[in-house]
A and B are shown apart, each in its own frame.
Chain A
């Protein structure tokens, strides 16, 4: 099939950037969206032009590297997939496709469709971990956890940190990402000792970045390739409110 692509091209962070239009003649419906871009990039290289830069790694929807806006929707319109798992059979002959990088002040563009998501890393460094004794693997079932909590924790643990939630939020907020991390660890016994301090530090770290506020639009939840629920945001709100209003008691962990 034939496709017309409007792709955001930007040489470097300082470049103003602009859309470039590419006509593709022979796109196979079996291709993934990234394979379609690979083909286009081969053409560009053959013509001596700069290929389109985009991030990718596993190409099976589990690493969180890829992601950009396809016709105004993060990872494209198919629910529950990253853009590497979006297949060209969902497009029609003659379609025009606009491809844009995530746009958020906290995610500055590095080149073309590649954005700097280290704001997420800084939030993770602030509290997205548990302190445990490392060493040999612990015995299975040594710590009792209810099935319900295991399931919910796993649902939140699915977050791959791709940034689609920020990209799709009309407010450019990172609430779903931070909520998922806080809920994931907060639902498990191993996450309890640092639960309050984690909520405080991660929310504070989030607020230091240029993310927006939550208006409960729910666009994040709708585009999340892992279909993470906004109930994680409610948990974050509750944990943060409790610790922020009570203050850091010694039992809740030291505040640095």
Chain B
């Protein structure tokens, strides 16, 4: 369809693609974080939850396919938009101090690729097991504890999730703008929603390696 092709060819359309795939990925990250909180309820509970997720392989792979597709679209659109913006200022300023640009916005272009690399490591560590020191298939609780007991690995998880929180904060706020959800009186809620979910997801994820490292969970 030529209209949607024109739409997706525009930077505005590509940003909408990033927003929509971002919402789906955000939903996953939120569910992932909430599900993983069961680690505080003990090995049996967490392993049972993992079994439940693995029970229907067809559904599992359908969900994984959707997520992978979203990641791919998100990245391709991001690269296209980034290249266009880079080309828009071929000669740099000698002095350039644009006001109001916050840390999260400025680092999106770095937090994105770093998070992508982290996800690959995370999958090899706790899903495939090939980057894990002592991987036991099915014993998720053991795998998490063993992995996070290595201080360097635990710190990688903490750092990556800190970046993820920043990425989500700017992404969540940004997507309201991109999709055009704004209101003269309620527009401020968008910032609050972004902060709330970024902190919630960041704190929930970071707490687990810290809990293992400090011996709260063992």
Contacts and interface: CB of A to CB of B under 8 A. Distances in A.
Contacts of B4: 244-245
Contacts of A100: 93-95
Contacts of A213: 11, 14-15, 81-82, 84-85
Contact of B100 (A71, A103, A215, A219): A219
Interface in A220-256: 221-223, 230-231, 233-241, 244-248
Contacts, number: 153
A246 B6 CA distance: 11
Interface stretch (A38-46, A47-55, A166-174): A166-174
Interface string B68-108: 00000000000001101111111111111111110001101
B187 interface: yes
A244 B179 contact: no
B123 interface: no
A210 interface: yes
A213 to B, nearest CB: 4
Given A213-B85, A222-B100, A247 B181 contact: no
A217 interface: yes
Contacts of B174: 215-216
Contact of B182 (A6, A168, A172, A234): A234
A238 B195 CA distance: 24
B7 interface: yes
Interface string B139-179: 00000000000000000000000000000001001101111
A234 B176 CA distance: 8
Contacts of B95: 69, 71-72, 98, 100
A188 to B, nearest CB: 16
B180 interface: yes
A241 B101 contact: no
Contacts of B176: 234
Interface residues of A, number: 53
B179 A212 contact: no
Contacts of A71: 95, 97
B3 A245 contact: yes
Contacts of B212: none
Contacts of A237: 12, 15-16, 177-180
A31 to B, nearest CB: 22
A217 B98 contact: yes
B215 interface: no
Contacts of A169: 98
A156 interface: no
B13 interface: yes
A106 interface: yes
B98 A105 contact: no
Given A105-B88, A106-B88, A212-B85, A241 B98 contact: no
A122 B184 CA distance: 30
Contacts of A103: 89, 91-93
Nearest to B100: A222
A15 to B, nearest CB: 13
A37 B15 CA distance: 42
A100 B179 CA distance: 35
Interface string B180-199: 11101001000000000000
Nearest to B187: A231
Contacts of B181: 234, 238
A218 interface: yes
A216 B14 contact: no
Interface in A152-208: 152, 168-173, 203-204, 207
3 tightest A-B contacts by CB?
A: A238-B180, A172-B88, A212-B85
Interface of A: 6, 19, 69, 71-73, 77, 98, 100, 103-106, 148, 152, 168-173, 203-204, 207, 210-219, 221-223, 230-231, 233-241, 244-248
Interface of B: 3-4, 6-7, 10-16, 81-82, 84-101, 105-106, 108, 170, 173-174, 176-182, 184, 187
Given A219-B101, A238-B179, 14 more contacts: A72-B95, A73-B97, A104-B88, A170-B85, A172-B89, A173-B85, A204-B10, A213-B85, A214-B177, A217-B98, A217-B106, A218-B101, A222-B98, A233-B177
